[in-house]
Structure 1
Amino acid sequence: MKRFVMVCGDKGGTGKSLMTRALADRLRREQRDVLMIDGDGEVGNLFQFYARLDEAGAPVQAQLADGVVPIRFTGTERERDQLLAAIDSGRALILADLPAASLTQLGAFDRDTGFFAELARCGYRPTLVNVLSPFSSSTRTVREMIELAGTQADYVVAINRWFGDREDFFMWYGGTHTAASPGRAMLGESGGIEINLPKLQAGVLVAIDDLMLTFADAREDRRLTTPQRSRLHRWMQALDEELDEAAQWLGLAETKR
């Protein structure tokens, strides 16, 4: 089955781009045939770190084959249409990093184009990935996500441990004086899965971003200190274990090219 994986959500600052970069890094390491799309255009994290470059280090125009296609999903209708046009490539796996407010935009896009029905007609099964912070404005987007696509999609919720441990996510799990988020029950009822996005030490991520490195390249780059590279390696191992839990939803269970 062909997969169309979209990392999305209406709340900004939850770690969506970090999650997409991590998944993109895994797909590149395994040399999977994937079309990548950055819904924030050329300023997006996915494009900045994983676009195909020329010998001078500048992004090439032709990104479709093995780079990152930039679109502005919250821009004009013509820009949004490129998300649906991506299925014309026939690629077995499509990964899109969508910006904040993307759930609202995706709902409008579906009403306008029949997006989810068209994916099914063309043999694609969509996966919506929502990265959570502990705040109610983030946790309630899970219910909105599932109400948007219903049985037309699969769902992965990634708890971003950058923000804290389980007890810090009482708006999601529930606490002594707080009920669990309705979205958590809906996730289980819809056959979705919950995984963790492990915490990467801030200084390590800052060093990687400063050098504009992919995670795989940073792991071998001697400009990072040995402790930094060691922490990155452990983080990648922990993250791979989490991604393995959701492999069939994320396009990681299919045979590599």
Structure 2
Amino acid sequence: MKRFVMVCGDKGGTGKSLAARALADRIRREQRDALLIDGDGEIGNLFQFYAKLDAHGEPVADQAPDGVVPVRFTGTERERDQLLAAVDPGRPLVLADMPAASLTQLKQFDAETGFFPELARAGYRPTLVNVLSPFSASTRTVREMIGLAGKQADYVVVVNQWFGDREDFFMWYGHGNSPPSPGYTLLPEYGGIEIALPKLQAGVLVAIDEQLLTFSDAREDTRLTTPQRSRLHRWMQAVDAELDRAAHYLGLAGSSG
């Protein structure tokens, strides 16, 4: 089954693009036949770190084969339509890092184009990935996400451990006499799965971002110290273990290239 994976949410600052970068890194490491899309266009995190560059360090014009296609989903109708046009090449996996407020925008886009039925017609099963912070504005978006597509999609909720441990996410899991978030209750009813995004030490992430490195490249780059590269390696292992739990939904099941 072909997969159309969208990392989305209606709130910024949850770690959405970090999760998308981690998934993109795994896809590239395994040489999977995938089309990567940055819904924030050329200013987006995924494009900045994973775009294909020429010998002068500039992004190549044709990003589709093994780079990141910039799509400004908040732009004009023609620009938004590029998201649906991504099914035309028929790649077995499409990964899109969607912009902030993407759930609201996707709802409108689906109303305009029949987005989710068209994905099904093209042989794609969509997966909506929602990265959570502990705050109520973030946890509420899971119910909105499921309400957007219902049984037309699969769902992966990613608890970002950068913000703390399980007890810090009490608005998601519930606490004392307070029930869990409605999204937490709905997720298993719709066959969804919850995974974690392990915490990466801030100094390591800053060093990677300063050099605009992919995670795989940073693992071998001597501009990072040995402890930094070692911590990154352990983090990548922990992330891969979590991604493995949702491999079927994320297009990571089966053999790679």
TM-score (norm 2): 0.99
Measured against aligned partners, the alpha-carbon deviations of 1:64-92 in whole angstroms (never above 9, x if no partner) come to 11110001101111110000000001100
Partner of 1:185: 185
Instruction: State the AA in 2 paired with 1:182.
Output: P
**1:1-257 counterparts in 2 under 5 A?**
1-257=1-257
Shift of 1:19: 0.2
Hey, what's the Cα distance between the residues in 2 that align with 1:191 and 1:93? 20
TM-score (norm 1): 0.99
Tell me the secondary structure at the aligned position of residue 54 of structure 2.
coil
Measured against aligned partners, the alpha-carbon deviations of 1:182-233 in whole angstroms (never above 9, x if no partner) come to 0011101000000000000000000000011000000011110111011100
Percent identity of equivalent pairs? 77
Unaligned runs of 5+ in 1: none
Shift of 1:178: 2.4
Aligned residues: 257
Tell me the secondary structure at the aligned position of residue 220 of structure 2.
coil
Hey, what's the Cα distance between the residues in 2 that align with 1:170 and 1:159? 12
Hey, what's the Cα distance between the residues in 2 that align with 1:24 and 1:99? 16
Shift of 1:8: 0.3
Measured against aligned partners, the alpha-carbon deviations of 1:39-66 in whole angstroms (never above 9, x if no partner) come to 0000001000000000000001110111
Shift of 1:176: 1.4
Hey, what's the Cα distance between the residues in 1 that align with 2:62 and 2:91? 16
Instruction: State the AA in 1 paired with 2:30.
Output: E
Tell me the secondary structure at the aligned position of residue 223 of structure 1.
coil
Hey, what's the Cα distance between the residues in 1 that align with 2:101 and 2:78? 18
Instruction: State the AA in 2 paired with 1:44.
Output: G
Hey, what's the Cα distance between the residues in 1 that align with 2:110 and 2:255? 30
Hey, what's the Cα distance between the residues in 2 that align with 1:244 and 1:150? 24
Instruction: State the AA in 2 paired with 1:119.
Output: L
Unaligned runs of 5+ in 2: none
Tell me the secondary structure at the aligned position of residue 219 of structure 1.
helix
Shift of 1:100: 0.5
